Structure formats: structure tokens, C-alpha cells
Amino acid sequence: MRKRRQSGVAIVEFSLAGIGMIFLLICTFHLSFGMWNYHVLANATHELTRYLSVKGVNCTKPGNSCSVTVGAIATKTEALAIGVPSSALNVTLTTESGATTTCNPISSCEGNTTVWPPHTNSDNAVGKKFTVTAMYHFQSPLLFFWPGRGAQKFGAIWFPASSTQTILF
């Protein structure tokens, strides 16, 4: 008689505890994925500024052919940001004088043949600073449950990354 009263108890216990465990497993995966995407974005932004720091005025002088176009920068960014979808990645290149080039999304600049940094206002001179800012639109179903999010879009958050460097060559 006791055995009959306990039949199905394991299924009920699993459904109570298993749902929570599966939710925690999925949460751990999505949070890890978001952290990895943010790290890749920050690293790509830093590496891009290092790459661009040697593409200044001396690259445009006769005998040198190391200047870079906005399209090449977009391609380099996509290569550095492994796993970050280019359709959700926005990049802004800003010079010390305030001239900006925006790629929103990054794939929209792939065919741009404009040389960067620009020579106007001597923005490509050695010692001038420039900033690369990247924004990634991360979407996850878990962000719906994030405390304090309120009535915003379902599962969307922006990951920012920025790096400033001085032109060295």
C-alpha cells in the first residue's frame, strides 16, 4: 500500500527541480556567450586601434603603400570580431579634430574606398589621436528576466567598446 502512494513521486520531483536546473543551465550558457561576445568586441576594438596607429601621414608619402581605406578597416574589424554578427555591429571612427566615419552596420562600409585617417585638418599627422568606438546589439531571451529592464525591447542590450590611440607612423 505504501508503494502505491509513492508511485510517480520521482516524476513530480524531477519536474519541480529539473525545470529550475535546465533554466540555470541555459542561463549559464547565454551569459557566457554574452560575456565572450563582449570580450571579443573589446579586443577587436583595441587591436583595430593598434593596426590603425601605423597608418598615418607617412603611409601616403611616395614610396610607401601602407595607407588603408574604410572598406579595409571594415573587413579587418569583421575578421577581428570573430563570432560577432556583422549585421549587429556598428563602428565609428573619430579623429582628434572631430571628423567621424560611421559604419552602421559594419558591412555597409565594405566597399568604401575613402582613405582613413583623413588628411584634412592634418588628422593623419604623427602624434594625433583617434578613437574607434564599436557597439554590438546583443540579443538573448534571458534579458527579458533582467531586473530593472522595465518595458523595453525583448532580450536586447548594447555592448559598447572604445579605444583611443595616437598615430605613430
Strands 89-95 and 129-139: antiparallel
The strand order across the sheet containing 100-103 reads 100-103, 89-95, 129-139, 156-166
Any alpha helices (H) in the chain, and if so which ranges?
2-5, 9-52, 70-80
The H or E element containing residue 102 is strand 100-103
Instruction: Indicate the pTM of the whole model.
Output: 0.83
d(CA 42, CA 161): 5
In the beta sheet, which residues pair with residue 166?
A: 129
pLDDT tens-digit profile of 61-113?
Answer: 888 888 999 999 999 999 999 999 999 999 999 999 999 999 999 999 999 99
pLDDT tens-digit profile of 113-154?
Answer: 999 999 989 999 999 999 999 999 988 777 666 666 555 555
The four Cα atoms 122, 124, 126, 131 give a dihedral, to 10 degrees, of 110
